[in-house]
Amino acid sequence: MFELFEHKADIGVRGIGKSKEDAFAECAKAMFSFIADLKKIEAKQWNEIAVEAGDLETLLVNFLNELLYLKDAEGMLYNRFEVYITEQAGKQALKGKAGGEKIDKKKHALKADVKAASFHQLKVAKEKGKWIAQCVVDV
């Protein structure tokens, strides 16, 4: 499950799942749902994702920013995510794949241009048996 939440100038994205991996994937879906209609994106192409950080919160920001880099550099939209998180030598590592397709202006009505994931209202935590991954993205 994912949701958007209000912020004064930007937009908050939140992913909720049974695992931290599910929460990260849902947070990415929330971000891309703000960019385009997820139902109109087909997972025709899969891109490998690999990021590291010293903590889970920074890992979330790095993950979302890597996806935004691929959106801008490769012209991609995503709606499917496979995420695996491990801890190695005190660092958090995320490896996975993002499924989507090239932006087609005839097919995809772009809603907003998300520029970056920020550290504002950043949280990755287990609450009431579910994982939450959230931050504010700059639009």
For residue 136, the cross-strand partners are: 12
Number of CB atoms found within 10 A of residue 61's CB? 19
Number of domains in the chain: 1
Cα gap 116→29, rounded to integer Å? 15
> How does pLDDT run across 47-95, given as a tens digit for each residue?
999 999 999 999 999 999 999 999 999 999 999 999 999 998 889 999 9
pLDDT band at residue 101 using 50, 70 and 90 as cut-offs: very high
Cα gap 14→55, rounded to integer Å? 18
Helix (H, G, I), strand (E, B) or coil at 70: helix
Q: What is the pTM of this model?
A: 0.93
> What CATH number is associated with residue 132?
3.55.10.10
Q: Would you give the DSSP letter of residue 128?
A: T
Range of the domain at 123: 2-138
